[in-house]
C-alpha cells in the first residue's frame, strides 16, 4: 500500500478561492482518460483511495482532493466548516483543472457533498456535467444514519472541544475498530488515517468538522430530493457490515431508488475502499 507520506509527495497543494479566502488544498492527480473525481470520508483523506486508484488509473484521469480541514489540505481553526463549502471546493478544483465532465465516486462524508452538487445541478448552477455518481457507505438518509458514540460526543458543545483536545492515536484507533468488518486487520489503515488526520494538528478540530451531521439534518429535504429526482446515473457499492450506514441504510436506498444498480459487499464494513479495493474497482469499472 502507498504510504501517506508517498501519497502526499506525489500530489501537490493548490490554492483555491473559498468564500473570499484563499485556501491551500491538497490534490492528487493520476491516470488518463475520462475524468473521475474521488471524494473521501470522515475523518480520513484522499489517501483512502490509494488502493482503488491503482486499478482505475489505466482507464481514467483521477482527481482526488482532500477536503478543507482534512489530510494535507489547510486546517483553519475557529472556522465554520460546512458541506456546502466542501462542494465549493470541489467546484473550484474542477474549474482550476479545466474539467467539463466527470463521474463522482464518493464515500461517507462525501456522499452529502455529492448530494449538494446534485442539488446545484438541478438548479442549473453547476458548470460541470455529472456523467455518473457512485456512492459508498454514507448517510444519505439522516434518520437511518447511526453515528458512533464518539461522533455524538464530538458534536456536543461541551464534550466536543475537550475530546478533540485530548484525542490520541490509540483513542482514534479504538473508535475506528468497530467500523471495520470483524476479522479485517485494520491496523495499517487506521494508522494512516491518524497520520493524515493529525497532520498540522487536524485532530484538534474534529469537533468543528463533525458539524456535517447537523448540515445533513438541516438540508435533508434539499439533499434527499436532489438524490431521488436526479437523472444522473446512480450506482451504489455498499459494505453491509457497516454499523453506521450499512445494511439498514441499504434497505432504505433499495426502497427509494429501486432501479439504481446496487453492489452489496456482504463481508465488508464501513470502509470499502480500504477493506475491499479490488471489489470496489471492479464494481466501478463495470457500472
Which backbone phi and psi does 107 adopt, to 5 degrees? Answer: -120, 135
pTM of the model: 0.98
Locate cell 439498514: which residue? 248
The pLDDT value recorded for residue 20 is 81
* Residue 61 pLDDT > 80: yes
Q: Domain 4-286 is of which CATH architecture?
A: 3-Layer(aba) Sandwich (3.40)
Rounded average pLDDT over 258-268: 98
* Residue 87 pLDDT > 90: yes
The pLDDT value recorded for residue 19 is 84
Q: What band does 145 get if pLDDT is binned at 50, 70 and 90?
A: very high
Q: Identify the burial level of 191 via C-beta atoms within 10 angstroms of its C-beta, where 0-12 means exposed, 13-18 middle and 19 or more buried.
A: middle
As a whole-number percent, the residues of the chain with pLDDT over 70 amount to 100
The pLDDT value recorded for residue 81 is 97
The pLDDT value recorded for residue 287 is 72
The pLDDT value recorded for residue 11 is 98
What DSSP assignment string belongs to 31-76? Answer: --SSEEEEE--SS--GGGGHHHHHHHTTT-EEEEEPPTTSTTS---
The pLDDT value recorded for residue 135 is 99
The pLDDT value recorded for residue 1 is 75
Rounded average pLDDT over 82-100: 98
Helix, coil or strand: residue 168? coil
Q: What band does 277 get if pLDDT is binned at 50, 70 and 90?
A: very high
Domain ranges of the chain: 4-286
- Which residues does residue 29 pair with via DSSP β-bridges, in sequence order? 63
* Residue 216 pLDDT > 90: yes
| Cα gap 80→211, rounded to integer Å | 9
Mean pLDDT taken over the chain: 97
The pLDDT value recorded for residue 191 is 97
Q: What band does 221 get if pLDDT is binned at 50, 70 and 90?
A: very high
Amino acid at each position: 500500500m502507498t504510504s501517506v507520506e508517498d501519497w502526499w509527495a506525489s500530489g501537490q497543494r493548490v490554492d483555491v478561492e473559498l468564500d473570499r479566502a484563499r485556501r491551500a488544498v491538497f490534490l492528487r492527480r493520476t491516470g488518463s482518460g475520462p475524468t473521475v473525481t474521488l471524494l473521501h470520508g470522515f475523518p480520513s483523506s484522499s489517501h483512502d483511495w490509494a488502493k482503488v486508484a491503482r486499478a482505475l488509473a489505466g482507464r481514467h484521469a483521477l482527481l482526488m482532493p482532500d477536503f478543507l480541514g482534512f489530510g494535507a489540505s489547510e486546517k483553519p481553526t475557529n472556522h465554520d466548516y460546512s458541506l456546502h463549502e466542501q462542494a465549493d471546493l470541489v467546484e473550484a478544483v474542477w474549474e482550476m483543472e479545466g474539467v467539463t465532465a466527470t463521474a463522482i465516486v464518493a464515500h461517507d462524508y462525501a456522499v452529502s457533498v455529492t448530494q449538494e452538487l446534485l442539488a446545484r445541478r438541478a438548479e442549473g448552477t453547476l458548470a460541470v456535467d455529472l456523467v455518473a455518481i457512485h456512492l459508498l457507505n454514507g448517510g444519505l438518509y439522516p434518520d437511518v444514519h447511526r453515528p458512533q458514540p464518539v461522533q455524538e460526543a464530538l458534536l456536543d458543545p461541551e464534550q466536543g472541544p475537550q475530546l478533540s483536545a485530548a484525542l490520541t492515536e490509540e483513542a482514534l484507533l479504538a473508535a475506528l475498530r468497530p467500523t471495520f468488518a470483524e476479522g479485517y486487520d485494520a491496523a495499517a489503515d487506521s494508522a494512516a488515517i491518524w497520520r493524515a488526520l493529525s497532520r498540522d494538528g487536524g485532530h484538534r478540530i474534529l469537533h468543528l468538522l463533525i458539524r456535517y451531521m447537523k448540515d445533513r439534518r438541516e438540508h435533508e429535504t434539499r439533499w434527499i430530493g436532489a438524490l431521488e429526482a436526479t437523472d444522473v446515473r446512480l450506482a451504489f457499492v455498499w459494505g453491509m457490515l457497516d454499523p453506521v450506514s450499512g445494511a439498514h441504510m441499504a434497505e432504505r436506498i433499495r426502497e427509494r431508488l429501486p432501479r439504481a444498480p446496487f453492489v452489496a459487499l456482504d463481508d465488508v464494513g464501513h470502509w470499502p475502499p480500504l477493506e475491499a479495493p479490488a471489489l470496489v474497482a471492479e464494481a466501478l469499472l463495470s457500472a
